[in-house]
Amino acid sequence: MGLTDWLLALHVLAAFSWIAALVVYTVVIVAGWRLTVPSDVVRMFRVSRVGDALIAVGMLGTIIFGIWLALDVDGYQLWDGWIITALVLWLVAGGLGGREGKVYNAARDRAVALVDEGRDAPNPELGAMLRSQRGVVFHSLMVVVVLAILVVMIYKPGA
């Protein structure tokens, strides 16, 4: 197995990690729709730590190994249209993920604050934060953008 094979394998594994993170976050978001008790919300968000690790590995791995692959493979150039498209979509996904994270991290932080204050009764404000339309929209857009990246990576339009 040569360097190119290793780079491709690591790039694909990173992509799987990114997809796994999106699945974890989707489960956390959907599970959060029914929660209003702060301690339950804090417990639920512990699961999202797995997603945090997966998204870091996935996003960093795809960009690092993807660029390395583009430089290593003779038939590809960084300025190929499909590679530029993938890079732009990667940046858009990162921006969406950051915005999504702010929405759900605010809910997590509010739940932690309520637990720390000893107010572990159902809290409608917390429930509303977890059912945020903005969070769902950002997450849905992130999923669509990642799927678009996969389509670009698989079909390499213009290559």
- Dump pLDDT digits (tens) for 44-99: 999 999 999 999 999 999 999 999 999 999 989 999 999 999 999 999 999 999 99
Q: Which amino acid, one-letter code, is at 38?
A: P
Q: Which helix (H) or strand (E) holds 98?
A: helix 81-116
Encoded tokens for 69: 């692959």
Measured CA to CA in angstroms, residue 126 lies from 33, 76, 105, 114, 121 at distances of 10, 49, 12, 9, 11
Cβ atoms of 22 and 59 closer than 8 Å:
no
Cβ atoms of 17 and 58 closer than 8 Å:
yes
The range of the structural domain enclosing residue 62 comes to: 3-155
pTM: 0.93
Residue with tokens 């996003």: 59
How many domains does the chain contain in total?
Answer: 1
